[in-house]
């Protein structure tokens, strides 16, 4: 597995990380603990050094899972976690008060079985707390040796600049993929200017770009895709054209649609590190295979032309969640 630097932070990670949320939260019932540990350790064995979690995934159980799974390899890995929701529960809204950030850090250190958090993200921007106060608090935690690097998630360009002026932002984690390209307009140029790495979550469109989801797919009642406008049956029917075209391109490269979607992201910038998640070993191996695919400038131009005429249907989030991003 190749390594990449997240911007100018000096933080080196595997070219693909593992997003661990889905093992405990968001996509239906949690994976059985020992099966989840086995999957995480399989990723380590295959060269993954970058693992993403958050207190809100569960809440709390996902950090505990990673703490146990990664303990034997801790000194070789980069673990990212997040603060920013009231009591760690995403439905309760944001809470990035300095005292709360400190409390989350102390609790996360215990759950992750570590003495330092490699990358500490603000999960969502809290409009009630100035970003300068947030950055200053994380800066203090870094000075104290409890955190190594500061990150933001789903922040807008202005917020990124304000935070970066207080303490360098190592990485921004936001959604970016072939079916959500809004970051290209303002976010990616800002990150490039400031030397900040980009960690795209949902790089496979929450599973849709794999080709494994159709208009008739039924999600578990606890799967949060049930509330996303982009995942209504009508939207999935309309968006199938994108997946079909992606499948044609993949066949030309002897690859899968997921691999081309990830290889496309890797080809955008050398400081982009996607974090696809999965609960299945064969999907993990498929995703990691994308790191071995090199798309030429001609390939990228072909993909651009092929997909340019296909409009993606449906909002990314329902209104109450959309209000939390781009702040």
Cα torsion 82, 87, 91, 92: sign: negative
Specify whether the CB–CB gap between 58 and 25 falls below 8 A.
yes
For position 309, what pLDDT does the model report?
A: 87
Q: Which of 27, 57, 121, 176 is catalytic?
A: 57
For position 7, what pLDDT does the model report?
A: 96
Mean pLDDT, all residues of the chain: 97
Beta-ladder partners of 80: 52, 119
- Topology classification of domain 3-207+268-291: TIM Barrel (3.20.20)
Would the pLDDT of 300 be above 90?
yes
Mean pLDDT of 203-215: 96
Beta-ladder partners of 219: none
For position 101, what pLDDT does the model report?
A: 98
Percent of the chain with pLDDT over 90: 98
Beta-ladder partners of 5: 12
For position 233, what pLDDT does the model report?
A: 95
Is omega for the bond preceding 276 within 30 degrees of 0, making it cis? no
DSSP state of 183: G
pLDDT digits (tens, 9 = 90+) for 40-49: 999 999 999 9
Mean pLDDT of 177-190: 97
Mean pLDDT of 33-39: 98
pLDDT digits (tens, 9 = 90+) for 88-104: 999 999 999 999 999 99
Helix, strand, coil percentages (3-state) for the chain, rounded to 5, are: 50, 15, 35
Distance CA 135, CA 154 (A): 15
Mean pLDDT of 128-152: 98
**What is the DSSP annotation of 201-255?**
ESTTGGGGGGT---TT----TTBGGGG-GGGSHHHHHHHHHHHHHHHHHHHHTTS
Would the pLDDT of 149 be above 90?
yes
Would the pLDDT of 327 be above 90?
yes
Would the pLDDT of 204 be above 90?
yes
- 121 catalytic, yes or no? no
């Amino acid at each position: 597995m190749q390594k990449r630097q997240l911007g100018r932070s000096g933080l080196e990670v595997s070219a693909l990380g593992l997003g661990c949320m889905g093992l405990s939260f968001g996509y239906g019932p949690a994976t059985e603990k020992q099966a989840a540990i086995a999957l995480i350790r399989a990723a380590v064995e295959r060269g993954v050094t970058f693992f993403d979690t958050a207190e809100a995934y569960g809440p709390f159980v996902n950090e505990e899972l990673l703490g146990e799974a990664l303990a034997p390899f801790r000194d070789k890995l980069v673990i990212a976690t997040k603060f920013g929701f009231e009591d760690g529960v995403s439905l309760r809204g944001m809470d990035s008060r300095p005292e709360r950030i400190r409390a989350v850090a102390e609790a996360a250190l215990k759950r992750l079985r570590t003495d330092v958090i490699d990358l500490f993200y603000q999960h969502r921007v809290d409009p009630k707390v100035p970003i300068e106060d947030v950055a200053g608090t994380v800066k203090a935690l870094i000075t104290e040796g409890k955190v190594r690097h500061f990150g933001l998630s789903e922040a807008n360009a202005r917020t990124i600049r304000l935070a970066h002026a207080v303490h360098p932002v190592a990485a921004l984690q936001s959604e970016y993929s072939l079916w959500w390209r809004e970051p290209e307009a303002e976010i990616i140029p800002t990150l490039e200017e400031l030397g900040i790495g980009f960690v795209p979550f949902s790089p496979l469109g929450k599973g849709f770009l794999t080709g494994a989801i159709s208009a008739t797919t039924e999600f578990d009642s606890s799967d949060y895709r049930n509330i996303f406008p982009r995942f209504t049956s009508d939207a999935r029917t309309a968006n199938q054209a994108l997946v079909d075209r992606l499948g044609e391109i993949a066949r030309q490269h002897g690859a899968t649609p997921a691999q081309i979607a990830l290889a496309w992201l890797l080809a955008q910038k050398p400081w982009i590190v996607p974090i696809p998640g999965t609960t299945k070993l064969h999907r993990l191996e498929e995703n990691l295979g994308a790191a071995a695919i090199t798309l030429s400038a001609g390939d990228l131009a072909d993909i651009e032309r092929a997909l340019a005429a296909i409009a993606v249907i449906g909002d990314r989030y329902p209104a109450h969640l959309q209000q939390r991003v781009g702040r």
